[in-house]
Structure 1
Amino acid sequence: MSAPELQTAADPAPAHDPALSLRREALRGHAAMLAFSAAVSGSFSLGAMVANDITPAALTTARFLLSAIILALLVALVPGSGRLGRRGFTPADFGAPWRYAVLGMLYAGYFVLMFEGLKTANPVAAGAVFTLTPLIAAGFGWLLLRQGLTRSMAAALTVGALGAVWVIFRGDLQALLGFELGLGLGIYFLGVVLHALYAPLLKGFNRGESAMVTIALVSLAGIFVAGAYGWRDLLATDWRALPPLVYVTLAYLVLLATVFSASAMQYAAQRLPASKVMAYTYLTPVWIIIWELSLGNAVPGVIVLPGILLIVGALLILLRED
């Protein structure tokens, strides 16, 4: 037997390449987050189109009610959706229910303020405000959990914030200096602060619950929070007289912006580092522009292009982050 033949016999080619398998799983995680960012972005465009047809409290309460039902069914039926990779709820999931009340208050508050702001705010500018979430969340993370930042993470947050500010103020230095944010964006910014606080508390409050269990119970708490705030709106809403687009939007918010998004993020979080999962937040304004064009709505001019490029640059920096 020749030397090459001896070498082949001694060192057979591996039947399974772990590195290749990990690469494939990472690509699937990126695909999930790409779909996640597109689904979340659609809620801005559709929300702006129906914001004056139904009150934010009524829309948010209905969304949480339907989302809680569907997510509870998924937890009960889908393997791997519960604690320790099992399915179904456990008594431990319901421990310290005040956690879900706090998270539900922040989550419901974010959505109510989002749709309140979209009554007058431009969806693309609102999407740019949303990209400030990682920066604000990093501040809350340091205050509450003493979470630090790597250099590349800090650079990405800075670049992304600069891009967001450019889009929000449309490159107008006078508007920036005068902080001419506009009522709608100002309202939505308060919602973004609530959402940013929600992120570190979600991690700090977790006691082993899966992402699907957590969002199901947070949605359940959100029903009571939003309902307590807007029960008058619920009773006053003539649900049969609402335009069909409101029901299309509600279905979208429940099925894609909540149920699908929670599933996609849970899937991606098992395959990607947290920084890469967070990176896709920065695609929101880009997706919103695509949504606005596809729906035949007006979009900002080329003046916002430098800001969009900065935001995409922040995405690329975070995607390099290990």
Structure 2
Amino acid sequence: MTDTSNQRLLAHLAMLAFALMIAGSFTFGAMVVDDIGPVPLNAIRFVIGAAMMGAFAFGPMRQKFVFPAAPWRFAILGLLMAVYFVSMFIALQFTAPIATSAVFTLIPLMAAGFGLVLLGQRTGPVGLLSLLLAALGSVWVIFRGDLAVLAAFDIGKGELIYFVGCLCYAIYTPLLRKFSRGEPAVVASFFTLSCTALWVCLYGVPSIAATNWLALPSHVWWVILYLAIFPTALSFFCVQFASLRLPAAKVIAYGYLTPVFVIGFEGLVGHGWASLSVLAGAAVVVLGLLVLALVPERSAR
């Protein structure tokens, strides 16, 4: 196996880890939903995540701290991620999580389009078919295999708001590669996380100031620590690492595994297992991603 093949395999494994960490955030996040608002929670997770990534990059990794050339690159990347997260919070005020999850399934297809425009990455008919297959399986899982619920899905204000955030997420991944100037992944992740934290904090100043941080229960801080380390710092690093080695559509498509892993986590913690119909949808997601992973890149700069 060549070094390039090894790097691509590591990139696929990184995105598997990404999906696992994001799925875990749903289980742990549900434990603190009544104790802290979503914007303060995400502001503190990004601040801590950026600090941890910086300590790791400029400590054990022995990277030299240098103010990056063209810092506007990280400001744009951070803004895109901040818009994605904030739009999600705003959308959930108008619609249900199941609806936002359905909108999320559009991201890999949009990422494929942005990857073509920005980087010349051609997914190809087999790749597009596998994306559609994984998307259909993901939608089936999200709607719990209930055709009546799927038929009742309606596009409203919340869905449109979140769609804007999903557009930002879709363009974020190809821009990681386009904006790269050879910085190590840990360094690039630090600056991106820092800018994301700055934008989220600016947006959430009122709610952050209104939060009684000293009165938060201890379990909230444990969850914040988990969110800061895994679905924030490490997941940003995984996306940064994978985006330089895989087409944008392949990177983002691993998000389809999130509801599949959520099923597993919920079952393992004793919340019950999904029906066979839903598990069949999960199998379709896995099959679609497996085909996508095996499809060779036709053009990737």
TM-score (norm 1): 0.75
CA distance in 2, matches of 1:175, 1:234: 36
> Which runs of 5 or more residues in structure 2 are unaligned?
297-301
The residue aligned with 1:61 is 43
Q: Which range is displaced more, 28-37 or 149-158?
A: 28-37
Partner of 2:258: 284
Q: Could you tell me which residue of structure 2 aligns to residue 200 of structure 1?
A: 174
1:303/1:50 CA distance change after superposition, 3 Å: farther
- How far is 1:301 from its partner? 3.8
**CA deviation vs aligned residue, 1:205-236 (integer Å, no higher than 9, x gap):** 22222322222111211222111111011110
**Relative to structure 1, is the Cα distance of residues 132 and 52 closer, same or farther in structure 2, using a 3 angstrom cutoff?**
farther
Identity of aligned residues (%): 41
Q: Using the alignment, how far apart are the partners of 1:292 and 1:181 within structure 2?
A: 28
| Mapped pair 1:246 → 2:220 | yes
- Mapping 1:154-193, distance limit 5 Å: 154-180=128-154, 190-193=164-167
TM superposition shift of 1:178: 4.2
Matched, 1:88 2:64: yes
In the alignment, is the contact (CA less than 8 A) between 1:141 and 1:200 conserved in 2?
yes
Task: Note if contact 2:135-2:256 (Cα within 8 Å) is conserved in structure 1.
Answer: no
Structure 1 unaligned regions, length at least 5: 1-18, 82-86
Q: Residue 88 of structure 1 aligns to which amino acid in structure 2? A: K
Q: How many residues of Structure 1 are paired with residues of Structure 2 in the alignment?
A: 294
Q: CA deviation at 1:43?
A: 1.3
Indicate how the Cα distance of structure 1 residues 187 and 297 shifts in structure 2: closer, same or farther if over 3 A, else same. farther
Greater RCO, CA 8 A, separation 6+: 2
**Given that residues 131 and 253 in structure 2 are in contact (C-alpha distance below 8 angstroms), is that contact kept between their aligned partners in structure 1?**
no
Partner of 1:218: 192
Q: Is the 8 A contact 1:117 1:184 kept in 2?
A: yes
Query: Corresponding residue for 1:150?
Result: 124
Q: 1:237 aligns with which of 168, 186, 211?
A: 211
TM-superposition CA deviations, 1:109-162 (whole Å, max 9, x none): 223344566788558x86665454322211232344443212321111111121
1:184–1:24 Cα change, 3 Å = same
Instruction: Summarize the Cα distance change of 1:264–1:245 in structure 2 as closer, same or farther, 3 Å threshold.
Output: same
User: Residues 169 and 181 of structure 1 are in contact (CA less than 8 Å); yes or no, is this contact kept in structure 2?
Assistant: no
Query: With structure 2 as the length reference, what TM-score do the two structures score?
Result: 0.80
Query: How far apart are the structure 2 equivalents of 1:222 and 1:236?
Result: 21
Question: Would the aligned equivalents of 1:41 and 1:127 in 2 still touch at CA under 8 Å?
Answer: no
Moved more, 250-259 or 169-178: 169-178
Confirm whether residue 50 of structure 1 aligns to residue 24 of structure 2. no
Secondary structure class of the residue paired with 2:192: helix
* Between 306-315 and 43-52, the greater mean CA deviation after superposition: 43-52
Is the alpha carbon distance of 1:112 and 1:291 closer, same or farther for their aligned partners in structure 2, counting shifts above 3 Å?
farther
Alpha-carbon distance in structure 1 between the residues aligned to 2:140 and 2:123: 24
Distance 1:43 1:273, change over 3 A: same
- Residue 17 of structure 2 aligns with an amino acid whose one-letter code is A
Alignment partner of 1:105 out of 79, 99, 105: 79
User: 1:258: which partner in 2?
Assistant: 232
SS at match of 1:89: coil
Letter in 1 for 2:115: G
